[in-house]
Structure 1
Amino acid sequence: MNLALTRSRFQANAVATAGPHRILTMLYDRLVLDIDRAQAAQRAGNDREATEALDHAYAIVSGLASTLDVATWSGGRALMDLYLYLLHELLGCSIAGDADRTAACGALVTPLRDAWHEAAATVVADAVALIPTARTPPDAFGEPAASSELGVG
């Protein structure tokens, strides 16, 4: 099996088994990567590569905007406004081929990505805190069994 196919399957499995918070952070990670790649390609004069990266970034932001329920939380409308602004700017970056404009999009998205990572880490930490701790079953005398007897625990 070739490396590209193995990597593709691994990525597909990672997305398929990820929770919503992990999918969101993966999307933001890829969005930042796409913007960085587009900026580098624009600076190198590679219009095709820049356009592909910006098109992918546009698709990510479009998907995020289409799934955002602005009524769910107080910041929803502001986030939607940011998504709409980014869609406008990404399109403009692609048309103009302006690396500085693309960098400005990255400067908007990177702190947002970092905030979502922080929020996701909090969600995971809170969920882990709710998991009851495993207790070692008592031995025949009612005392906790020594976990080293079987080499586990």
Structure 2
Amino acid sequence: MAMNNPYAKYQNNTVNTSTPGELTLMLYNGCLKFIEQAKRAMDDNNIEEKNKSVQKAQAIISELMLTLDSTYPISANMLVLYEFANNRLIDGNIQNDSALFDEASDIIKEFRDTWKQVIQINRQKQYANV
């Protein structure tokens, strides 16, 4: 049973108590983790594991795409970049090309790093007003 595992309890608690911004950051980090797992699996010639990891990364990108707020003009640009990253994962999976995985990873890293800065700025503003 997973909930008897202290790590699983910690993870569950972390997700349940995180802000929406922190959850988005977790999605970016998870996507990057799965892309790296896909690259390692490809290096090990483990096609099944590579495919599973790519699918998990794609599921996260799909979730990020679905949660975009289309009322902001920047969302259209973000959607294009998410689609491009997703296509790089598909092509990398088919062609067994880690350079394509790297392209997807670079895009997600940029989003993650920017998102991290936004969270930090918001926290500074929040604590400056206390």
Write the deviation string for residues 69-122 of structure 1: whole angstroms up to 9, x where unpaired.
Answer: 222x23111001111122222222222222121112112221221111111111
Tell me if structure 1 keeps the 8 A contact 2:65–2:79: yes
- Larger-Rg structure: 1
> Take 2:67 and 2:76, find their aligned partners in 1: how far apart are those partners?
13
Structure 2: runs of 5 or more not aligned: none
Q: Report SS of the residue matched to 2:110.
A: helix
Q: Which structure dedicates a bigger proportion of its chain to helix?
A: 2
Aligned residue identity for 1:109: I
Structure 1: runs of 5 or more not aligned: 132-153
Write the deviation string for residues 37-70 of structure 1: whole angstroms up to 9, x where unpaired.
Answer: 2112212212122111111100000001011122
Write the deviation string for residues 3-24 of structure 1: whole angstroms up to 9, x where unpaired.
Answer: 9822112111101100011111
Tell me if structure 2 keeps the 8 A contact 1:35–1:54: yes
Equivalenced residue count is 130
**TM-score normalised by structure 1 residue count:** 0.77
> Take 1:45 and 1:103, find their aligned partners in 2: how far apart are those partners?
18
1:131-146 matches, cutoff 5 A: 131=130
Find runs of 4+ consecutive structure 1 residues off by over 4 angstroms: 1-4
Aligned residue identity for 1:95: I
* Alignment-derived partner of residue 58 in structure 2: 58
Identical-pair percentage: 24
> Take 2:2 and 2:108, find their aligned partners in 1: how far apart are those partners?
34
> Take 2:70 and 2:24, find their aligned partners in 1: how far apart are those partners?
16
**TM-score normalised by structure 2 residue count:** 0.89
Tell me if structure 2 keeps the 8 A contact 1:47–1:97: no
